[in-house]
Structure 1
């Protein structure tokens, strides 16, 4: 029987949690459940609160961290690591983890959760719209001009320096990648050879948060996301005015546009604010569809996968990864954000063909997003990186 690979999982936690953190923890648990020995190397941005020296030297350690280089080499040697798997390395771990792994002749793979290697703010979103200027130009002048990283010129310069230095050193072409969607992969064509046999596509997996839907309340739709402009909540509320009064919208979430949402609640729109997931998924299990009106590319929207896991169809904009997931899964339908008639058509379509979309969503979950299927994909990647040994 082939020996299970010993994996070093690497992740830099932000001060505010998010999807990347959840995926990291889920994958660590998945690997351990399947008999792998997993060593975790993690850092947290909370360190910057308590250590002023770390904050002072951050512009340099973001580009290259000697601490990371030394500690990763030591872990690989002492723990006899087979594969180094990175999730997030920004800002404390830095790309020096790649150099450390390569110096020890251990394969290293980076899961791409966002567009940070191409765009300093990681999102391809600037001034209220999708922007790929840094990708197209091959430099970060536009990002610095627009203060794209946290509206800070200095912060943007630091991120741009990290990316520029490590591009020139060629490290991004020497490691392997896991992309969550084909759409994500396609955006990296100017940085790496996306057709290389060291480039893989593997979505995140999800666990069911409730039983599969056995039916749907007609004309009840759910929005469950952050209340921010790029999530499309303003767009959704404007489009909802075009629908009949007996089309009901339930809004879950919190964010900077909370007051705006509260001001726009009407007889067919209910706002519940921040709500436990269990309650949201109980509502989703009998709703007509999840509505996902995001106006930026997203990474891998977990709420879409979680909805489809219980057979809830999705109505989404045709932008970026959400659109890509809907096209591949056939678990719902899409609309163009600047064409209101396509939104109305999408809503009507998901009403009329709800049972078909439910079946497609459940099939997509079983075939692509379940734990078992995902582990097979992940283990195959490790075996390939290790040379099939």
Structure 2
């Protein structure tokens, strides 16, 4: 099969689970004998752009005609069987869908977040769940609240893109791949076409190392941001410390907007270690030495890659009991779920996960079995290729029937 992957790579200054998924899927497909090419833009390149180029960039977020022309020419020259779209913000834009419609190439799109119904894609505002824009024709609440980067100006291009391109997305993509059933449920309720929304969980490679003992620390591995529950974790850990601790330190690995706050909070403590950004090998080793991985997100995670990485290493997770975590972590079997947003509940779960080493090891073994059944590369490859074939068959059927739905409303402007 010949696949063209379309992706705007996130900045390399921050770890990106989405970039990792794209790279891992590409490598997996190639190893299985499929031909995979890339059509990419990189956010890292924005810094080197001229001032006029930077000024024009927000205007091109809803629609980039140069990208449409470039991609259409490439599709005509290479004739891939299917285009797999991941992220188009900020330098590609939904104009990639028009290029595919121009050339009759079927499109599969992985939905890594909630940008189809929420301009910043988080379904969160001020640290709390928010669905004000879900189902709205015009996502004006996001602009009013400055939901992207706390800026009304920065939110406008995303809101405009969502409003003017919603129909193009919903008619121009053969198969949307949701990374969890929880995410799919939200999108179906928002009005997206249920028949085109399939659940295909992310996979993770089998790690080089697995946990062999009881573990040495509790591990938070991810972006240091409000939505990830970092402040909640600090409050829970303070409560644990006041009660005498749990006998193992908390390791916090990552970077982000709360980095200074977290570093200051951890300074002078012997029960917390802030280690900064880890490279992939360091992440695998840290996970394999963990009593448990902690994922206390306050927003509705669409997946939760770190939880599955822990499963692969035979390590249980303590995660917030909402969003995708509910389907990833079987409470009391492969980990524990705490009440979302409640530091006391999180503290209680951290005490429980460390109190009984034998039970913890059983949970880790159950987590590994779940990984092998649902999140291994073999399972990921099978499901991915199946969705490609479904999209190709669907496009072929439309071509035979003369259906032009993907071109409806198509034009040279937004």
Superposition TM-score, scaled by structure 1 size: 0.89
Closer/same/farther in 2, CA of residues 101 and 216 from structure 1, 3 Å limit? same
- Structure 2, unmatched stretches of 5+, are 397-414
CA displacement at 1:117 relative to structure 2: 1.9
Distance 2:178 2:332 in 1: 17
The equivalent position to 2:294 in structure 1, one of 277, 284, 291, is 291
* C-alpha contact 1:216 1:285 (8 A) present in aligned 2: no
Give the equivalent residue in structure 1 for 2:9.
13
For residue 313 of structure 1, the aligned residue among 301, 313, 316 is 316
Q: Deviation per CA, 1:241-294, whole angstroms, max 9, x where unpaired?
A: 333324322222333333433443334333333344434433432332111112
Q: Structure 1 pair 67/365, CA: closer, same or farther in 2 (3 Å)?
A: same
Task: Say whether the 8 Å CA contact 1:186–1:194 is kept in structure 2.
Answer: no
Alpha-carbon separation, structure 1, partners of 2:123 and 2:54? 26
Q: Which moved more, 1:335-344 or 1:297-306?
A: 335-344
Equivalent position SS for 2:38: strand
Q: CA RMSD in A?
A: 2.5
Return the TM-score normalized by structure 2. Answer: 0.84
CA distance in 1, matches of 2:332, 2:245: 30
Partner Cα separation in structure 2 for residue 136 and residue 294 of structure 1:
24
Asked if the contact 2:232–2:342 (Cα under 8 Å) also holds between the matched residues in 1, the reply is no
Give 1:205-216 correspondences, 5 Å limit: 205-216=203-214
Residues 139 and 247 of structure 1: CA distance in aligned 2, closer, same or farther (over 3 Å):
farther
Contact 1:329 1:364 in 2 (8 A): no
Preserved CA contact (<8 Å) 2:63 2:95: yes
Matching of residues 29-48 of structure 1 within 5 Å: 29-48=27-46
How far residue 192 of structure 1 moved from its aligned partner, in angstroms, is 4.4
Deviation sequence 1:109-167 (CA, Å, 0-9, x none): 11011112211112112122221111154431111111122233232222111111112
Task: Tell me the equivalent position of 1:255.
Answer: 256
Give the equivalent residue in structure 2 for 1:159. 158
1:332 alignment partner in structure 2 = 335
Structure 1 residue runs of 5 or longer lacking an equivalent are none
The 8 Å contact of residues 218 and 294 in structure 2, kept in 1 or not, is answered as yes
Tell me the distance in 1 between the aligned counterparts of 2:197 and 2:130: 25
Aligned residue for 1:208, secondary structure, equals: coil
Q: Which residue of 2 aligns with 1:76?
A: 75
Count residues in correspondence: 382
Matched, 1:235 2:235: no
CA distance in 1, matches of 2:11, 2:304: 20
| Aligned with 1:372 (options 371, 378, 396) | 378
**Following the alignment from structure 2 to structure 1, what is the Cα–Cα distance between the partners of residues 237 and 89?**
39
Residue 130 (structure 1) aligned with residue 133 (structure 2): no
1:343–1:45 CA distance, 2 compared to 1 (3 A):
closer
1:15 counterpart SS class: coil
TM-superposed deviation, 1:233: 2.1
Contact 2:65 2:95 in 1 (8 A): yes
Q: SS state of the match for residue 319, structure 1?
A: coil
**Alpha-carbon displacement from aligned partner over 1:210-263 (angstroms, at most 9, x marks no partner):** 322222147x32222222222222211221233332432222233333343344
Deviations 1:337-359 (A, max 9, x none): 44455334423543442133112
Once residues 55 and 273 of structure 2 are traced to their aligned partners in structure 1, the CA distance between those partners, rounded to angstroms, is: 47
- Cα gap change, 1:295/1:191 in structure 2, threshold over 3 Å: closer, same or farther? closer
Q: Does 1:245 align with 2:245?
A: yes
Q: Which residue of 1 aligns with 2:399?
A: none
1:9 shift after superposition: 0.6
Contact 1:172-1:191 within 8 A present in 2 as well: no
Distance across 2 between alignment mates of 1:242 and 1:155: 38
Taking the aligned partners of 1:364 and 1:65, their CA distance within structure 2 comes to: 42
- Whether the aligned pair in 1 keeps the contact of 2:170 and 2:192 (CA below 8 Å) is no
Structure 1 pair 85–338 and aligned structure 2 pair: CA distance change class (3 A): closer
The whole-number CA distance in structure 1 between the counterparts of 2:160 and 2:261 is 38
| Deviation of the 1:6 alpha carbon | 0.9
> Does the aligned pair in 2 maintain the 1:246–1:268 contact within 8 Å?
no
CA distance in 2, matches of 1:46, 1:340: 36
Deviates more, 1:264-273 or 1:66-75: 264-273
Matched, 1:224 2:221: yes
Distance 1:39 1:331 in 2: 37
Deviation at 1:383, TM superposition (A): 1.0
Counterpart Cα distance in 2 of 1:106 and 1:80 = 8
Q: How far did residue 88 of structure 1 move?
A: 0.6
Report the Cα offset of residue 19 of structure 1.
1.6
